[in-house]
Amino acid sequence: MSKKGKGFWARLEDVPREVLYVILLIVFIIPMLNPIGFPVPISDAVKKWYATIDAMPAGSAIMIDFGYSGGGEPELGPMAVAVYHHIFRKGGLKSITMSTSIEGPLLWDKVIAEVKPETYGAKYGVDYIHIGYISGTETAMAAVGKDLRATTNTDYKKVSLDQFPIMQGIKDASSFKLLICYTTGGDQSEGWVRQWYTPYKVPYLCSVIAMMVPTMLPYQKAGQIVSLTAGAQAGEMELLIKMPGRGIKSADVITLTHLLVFAFVIIGNIAYYGRKASERAGGG
């Protein structure tokens, strides 16, 4: 360090965080306002997810868990929207949703408002339904898997399930051909493996926030999860179903912000070694 204070390298190394925040904010805002349209590769996991739903025979029931909180909505919401588009466009599938997150029913309302199932001719209670938030997380999964009606006998608006044609023949986990979970919590993503895949062998698709992926990878490698995606891959799903939405818009942001962080890491290291070199040389 020079006698006059910090040298160039030291100052570069200790750039005030506010400067980094502003640069990140600018890089974040620009593609949000003016989408660039960077290419997006479609991963094998998303292709497998798509193929799994596409291969489902007509009349199959799908259990969907909206197990995320409001904080995860920007990441998992677009994925849920894209998957619902796929399900409704394919047609003939029964989507029965429950929530292991207390915010789930409210977030489900937002997703359904965005999907507009009526444009596909899908009707509430016939093609899709929400049976509400069920407390207890893993206990709720186990109870619903054992006997759905004993756990809840109304939908999320407290209307009797007997009034909905979609619920005919739905008794327990064995009534479902597929399980989908969107979640921000490990209790949910891992709980479904323990409570539905292991005892009933219900094929399981799981979408989590990106930081949870390493935790869930062993389950996928063991074949307990058919496909594991991060919510940030919603853009890939939107490309597959040919319906660009929030996910593909955020793909530009993800690319640019990741590149920015990569550049920051390089600059940080250059500054670190620059300072070390200048210290060795006795300068600043």
Q: How far is the CB of 284 from another protein (least distance, A)?
A: 19
What contacts 174, CB < 8 A, 6 or more positions away? 200
Instruction: Out of 78, 117, 185, 235, point to the residue binding another protein (CB under 8 A).
Output: 235
110 binds another protein (CB under 8 A): yes
Instruction: Out of 73, 88, 115, 212, point to the residue binding another protein (CB under 8 A).
Output: 73
53-61, 81-89, 175-183, 260-268 -> range binding another protein (CB under 8 A)? 260-268
Which candidate, 219, 220, 208, 155, places its Cα nearest to that of 183? 208
| Phi and psi torsions of 7, nearest 5° | -80, 180
Q: How far apart, in whole angstroms, are the C-alpha atoms of residue 137 and residue 99?
A: 9
Q: What does the DSSP 8-state code read for residue 178?
A: E
32 binds another protein (CB under 8 A): no
Toward another protein, which CB reaches closer, 5 or 214?
214
Tokens 């955020």 belong to 250
Residue 4 near residue 218, CB atoms below 8 Å? no
Toward another protein, which CB reaches closer, 181 or 253?
253
Q: Which one-letter amino acid corresponds to residue 93?
A: L
Q: Judging by beta carbons within 10 Å of its beta carbon (0-12, 13-18, 19+), is residue 230 exposed, middle or buried? A: buried
**Binding site residues, another protein, CB under 8 A:** 15, 17, 20-21, 24, 38-41, 69-74, 102-103, 105-106, 109-110, 133-137, 139-140, 142-143, 146-147, 150-151, 156-158, 199, 210, 213-215, 217-218, 221, 232, 235-236, 251-252, 254-262, 264-265, 267-269, 272
